[in-house]
A and B are shown apart, each in its own frame.
Chain A
Amino acid sequence: MPRTPIEIPESIEYLSVLDETGRLDRDLEPRLEEGLLLRLHRTMLLARRFDERLLSLQRQGRIGTFPPSSGQEAAHLGAAAALSPEDWMVPAFRELAAEIWRGRTLESVLLYNAGFNEGGHIPPERNDLPIAIPVGSQILHAAGIAWALRHRRTDRVAMVFFGDGATSQGDFHEGLNFAGVFSLPAIFVCQNNQWAISVPRARQTRSRTLAQKALAYGIHGIQVDGNDLLAVYAAAAEAVGRARAGGGPTLIECVTYRLAVHTTADDPRRYRTEEEVESWRRRDPLPRFQKYLADKGLLSEEGVRAAEEEVAREIQQAVERAEEAIKALGDPLDLFEHLWAEMPPTLREQREELIAALAARGGEETHG
Chain B
Amino acid sequence: MAKLNLVQALNLALRQEMERDDRVIVLGEDVGRDGGVFRVTEGLIERFGEERVVDTPLAESAIVGTAIGMAVAGLRPVCEIQFDGFTYYGMHQIEAHATRLRWRSRGRFHVPLVVRAPYGGGVRALEHHSESREALWAHLPGLKTVIPSGPRNARALLLSAIRDPDPVLFFEPKALYRAFREEVPEEEETLPLGRSRIAREGGDLTLVAYGAMLRPTLEAAEELSRQRGAEAEVIDLLTISPLDDTLLVASARKTGRVAVVHEAPRSFGPGAEIVARLVEKAFYHLEAPVARVTGYDVIIPLFRREAYYLPDVPRIVQAARRLLEAP
* A residues lining the B interface (CB < 8 Å): 88, 90, 117-118, 120-124, 129-130, 132, 134, 137-149, 151-152, 158, 170-171, 174-175, 177-178, 181-182, 337-341, 344-347
Contacts and interface: CB of A to CB of B under 8 A. Distances in A.
Contacts of A88: 73
Contact of A341 (B57, B96, B110): B110
Interface string B111-155: 000000000000000000000000000000110000000000000
Interface pairs A-B: 7 shortest CB-CB: A144-B69, A140-B65, A144-B66, A344-B242, A174-B62, A148-B73, A121-B106
Contacts of A152: 73-75
Contacts of B301: none
Interface in B84-112: 92-93, 96-97, 99, 101-110
15 contacts: A123-B108, A129-B109, A132-B96, A137-B92, A140-B66, A143-B62, A144-B71, A151-B51, A177-B57, A177-B59, A178-B59, A178-B62, A181-B57, A341-B165, A345-B242
B242 A122 contact: no
A170 B102 CA distance: 25
A321 B113 CA distance: 37
B141 A140 contact: no
A144 B72 contact: yes
Given A137-B96, A344-B242, A346-B242, A170 B105 contact: no
A174 B62 CA distance: 6
A135 to B, nearest CB: 11
Interface residues of B, number: 47
B70 interface: yes
Nearest to A156: B73
B108 A124 contact: yes
B289 interface: no
Nearest to B245: A346
Contact of B103 (A123, A339, A346): A339
Most buried by A among B72, B110, B243: B72
Most buried by B among A120, A132, A134, A174: A174
A220 to B, nearest CB: 19
Contacts of B57: 174, 177-178, 181
